[in-house]
Amino acid sequence: MNIEKDFVMKNEDIIYFDNAATTFKPISVINKEMEYLTKYTANSHRGDYNISFKVDDEIDESRYLVSKYINSKSKDEIIFTSNTTDSMNLVINGFFGEYLREDDEVILTKSEHASNILPWLVLSKKIGFKIKYAPLDKEGKLSLESIKKTITRNTKAISIAHVTNVIGDIRDIKTITKYAHKKGILVLIDGAQSVPHIKTDVQDLDIDFLAFSAHKMCGPTGLGILYGKYELLKYMKPFKYGGGMNEIYNENTIELDDIPYRFEAGTPNVSAIIAFSETIKYLNKIGIENIERTEKYLKHYLIKELKTIPYIKIYNENSEGSIVLINIDGIESGDLGLYLNTKNICVRSGKHCVKMLEEEAEFKDTVRISLYFYNSYEEIDKLILALKDFDNIKKYVNL
């Protein structure tokens, strides 16, 4: 393992701390995508010739590796979509759109990403079910107690992130699913920020549905995954109809293909799916425990160094994930982000697609520094140096 060699983007003259948005891809993943594009470009499920058979085999292999990575019972429980957002829309409409009735209730939190709120809001307008937000504590964290207090007889689903993308807190999913299942409540987990960073064993956590994106875990863009328990997927309706998802059809009937293919209408993102197998192999080689540990050390160091700068406000010191939120009093987060850009440091500023959180949190806009295992202490030192240069910051923002 050689981070500089594996990640060619690390050779660019930039310091990348926007890993919650997307991540760099190792060269093995890039090469695999290139191999498909230059040596066996073909569609899947369609051809009667060798390169198309190879494509089908490799897609199958990728599905198998993803299944092993999250420890699902079967690879048929893995559905390829285009991103977390697409996975969430599929399960919320395709499953919960059929399952929920007018009197039902769904629990979310105000800390959820837009893709775990907007599809629910739209569906609730159609069906009439109620959305309830489990209150967060002072640090923006979610407790089982809060969920317990929000649950009523009518609660049918809980839909929350395992790790949130602003505060970066890690929820105790195993305890939550255990409690929810005792009450007959289904649990949908937004894994966009968890699967890339922490061990995710869907059987151990007893998750009913899990959505995540390949591009946030060293995989190609344009590929998402929806995991669902097979017995639940049997009741899910496709959200898209077209080629590759039906057995036969005529004017009166549509016979669907098997699970998971019935949920994958149209030509899939073949190159991304095939290359994602290399991502899984790469992450397996490093080991998720090493990823977790490295990020923990980096974050600890980052917070320790940030604390040496008196005018930096840190909002989420006690969150468990690899995200740190900061601001400087009197300076717009967007301006601070743009100042850091002048030093070739990439961070994200604003609300980070979580626009209801400000109703409960003590902050509105922030600068988000999100780490991944390939970041280094030297990169953090350069960020700290840039933040310590208060005269320059003031000059940049016309203070």
Residues with active-site annotation: 353
| Backbone phi and psi for residue 394, each to the nearest 5 degrees, phi listed first | -60, -40
User: Residues 20-59: x/- map of binding to ligand PLP (CB under 6 A)?
Assistant: xx--------------------------------------
Q: Pick one of 83, 111, 322, 333: the residue that binds ligand PLP (CB under 6 A).
A: 83
Q: How many CA atoms lie within 13 A of 270 on its CB side?
A: 21
Taking the complex as a whole, the smallest distance from the CB of residue 126 to ligand PLP amounts, in Å, to: 22
Under 8 Å between Cβ of 133 and 159: no
Q: Pick one of 190, 208, 295, 305: the residue that binds ligand PLP (CB under 6 A).
A: 190
Please name which of 399, 380, 299, 307 lies closest in space to residue 340, comparing C-alpha atoms: 380
Taking the complex as a whole, the smallest distance from the CB of residue 141 to ligand PLP amounts, in Å, to: 15
CA distance 366 to 350: 5
Residue range at the interface with ligand PLP (CB under 6 A); choices 79-87, 242-250, 343-351, 382-390: 79-87
Rg (alpha carbons) of the chain, rounded to whole number = 22
DSSP letters for 56-111: HHHHHHHHHHHHHHTT-S-GGGEEEESSHHHHHHHHIIIIIHHH--TT-EEEE-TT
- Applying the rule CB under 6 A, the residues between 89 and 108 that interact with ligand PLP are none
Residue range at the interface with ligand PLP (CB under 6 A); choices 2-10, 83-91, 275-283, 286-294: 83-91
Taking the complex as a whole, the smallest distance from the CB of residue 95 to ligand PLP amounts, in Å, to: 18
Q: Pick one of 134, 136, 160, 161: the residue that binds ligand PLP (CB under 6 A).
A: 161
Q: Pick one of 193, 322, 349, 370: the residue that binds ligand PLP (CB under 6 A).
A: 193
Cβ closest to ligand PLP, residue 16 vs residue 339: 16
Please name which of 177, 221, 213, 174 lies closest in space to residue 194, comparing C-alpha atoms: 213
User: Residues 110-139: x/- map of binding to ligand PLP (CB under 6 A)?
Assistant: ---x-x------------------------
Taking the complex as a whole, the smallest distance from the CB of residue 154 to ligand PLP amounts, in Å, to: 26
Determine, following the binding rule CB under 6 A, whether residue 319 of this chain makes contact with ligand PLP: no
User: Residues 210-249: x/- map of binding to ligand PLP (CB under 6 A)?
Assistant: ---x------------------------------------
Query: How many helices (H) does the chain have, and how many strands (E)?
Result: 15, 15
Applying CB under 6 A, what is the total number of residues that bind ligand PLP? 13
Determine, following the binding rule CB under 6 A, whether residue 165 of this chain makes contact with ligand PLP: yes
In single-letter form, the type of residue at position 270 comes to: V
The token pair at 257 is: 């293909």
The token pair at 52 is: 């198309």
Determine, following the binding rule CB under 6 A, whether residue 84 of this chain makes contact with ligand PLP: yes
Q: Residue 125 class from Cβ within 10 Å (0-12 exposed, 13-18 middle, 19+ buried)?
A: exposed
At CA 172, angle to CA 82 and CA 322, rounded to 5? 65
Under 8 Å between Cβ of 194 and 146: no
Query: What is the CA 267 to chain-centroid distance, rounded?
Result: 23
Residue range at the interface with ligand PLP (CB under 6 A); choices 55-63, 187-195, 238-246, 373-381: 187-195
Taking the complex as a whole, the smallest distance from the CB of residue 83 to ligand PLP amounts, in Å, to: 3
- Applying the rule CB under 6 A, the residues between 266 and 305 that interact with ligand PLP are none
Can you give the binding site for ligand PLP, defined by CB under 6 A?
Answer: 20-21, 83-85, 113, 115, 161, 165, 190, 192-193, 213
